Amino acid sequence: MKKLFLVVLLISLSACAFAQQSYVARYDVFTGFSYLNSPKLNLQQRGFNTQIGVNLRRWLAFGVDYSIQEGRAALVPNDLKTQYAAPLNGLVAEGKAGMLAGYGFPAAYFTGYTLFAPFDATTQTYTVGPQLVYRPKGKLAYFIHPSVGAIHENISLNPHDAFTQHIVLPALLGQLPGTTPILKSTKPNDTTYFYGLGGGLDYNLTKHFHLRADLEFVHVYLYSGLLANSRNSVRLSFGPTFSFGPNVKK
């Protein structure tokens, strides 16, 4: 990723050596559809992305980026840190051994059983930073930018069967007789930073109206006290861009 960034950076910085588009507006506003994919958790989210930018030079812009996406996925014990996964796997083992029959879960209940917990997730990202732009003659403008910012995620668990609802969640919270809480915190949200690289292009339909496609690859470690691993995510945004203001000549 670093090598790719350096290559595009050199191309962008050399843009002044090429013929430029005649009009570059001082301000850009983008708004459109956003798709966020986190393969590690099989979490796919859809939502909205907006970007507001100021063109300081024809090859350099500075802006802010906000997005919000919603989606559903499921957690399995192996997604969690060992200290949380082991007790959950232990509950399933107890069930298969018939030790939970007194709770209404005979050993036969666990034949072919897989423990997982569906959840809903709402993810918001906030980014501020520079963007390098290459504007050859024609209708296309190419850009690249670092993707560094804050990310906030809120989740809600949705028990999907009787065992998850009456045994697993009470065990996590220490509500079963003789148990202590498995989870140290039941906080349903988390905020941290992310970093990566993004880029894309604008297709200029008119001098004030464009279509933008933006692709970003980022690394993030949300719920680091609970989940076993960090994740890599990809965000794709697509929609119209509106530009206005005086012409940036340099």
pLDDT tens-place string over residues 11-29: 444 433 344 578 899 999 9
Mean pLDDT (whole number) for 96-101 = 94
pLDDT at res. 182:
66
Strands 117-134 and 231-247: unpaired
Distance CA 8, CA 199 (A): 10
- The yes/no answer on whether domain 2-247 falls in CATH 2.40.160.20 is yes
pLDDT at res. 11:
41
Classify the phi-psi angles of 124: left when phi > 0, otherwise alpha if psi is within -120 to 50, otherwise beta: beta
pLDDT at res. 196:
96
Mean pLDDT (whole number) for 37-54 = 97
Mean pLDDT (whole number) for 67-74 = 97
DSSP collapsed to 3 states, 26-88: EEEEEEEEEEEEEHHHCEEEEEEEEEEEEECCCCEEEEEEEEEEEEEEEECHHHECHHHHHHH
pLDDT > 60? residue 157: yes
123 — pLDDT class (breaks 50, 70, 90): very high
Do 188 and 155 form a contact (C-beta atoms < 8 A)? Answer: yes
Highest-confidence segment of 20-29, 168-177, 181-190: 20-29
pLDDT at res. 184:
61
Distance CA 138, CA 135 (A): 8
CA dihedral 11, 14, 16, 18 (to 10 degrees): -70
Mean pLDDT (whole number) for 54-76 = 96
Host H or E run for residue 14 = none
Q: What average pLDDT does the chain have?
A: 88
pLDDT > 90? residue 137: no
Mean pLDDT (whole number) for 192-203 = 96
CA 60 to chain centre: 26
Residues in the chain: 250
pLDDT at res. 4:
42
pLDDT at res. 183:
64
Domain spans of the chain?
Answer: 2-247
pTM (2 d.p.): 0.85
pLDDT > 50? residue 10: no
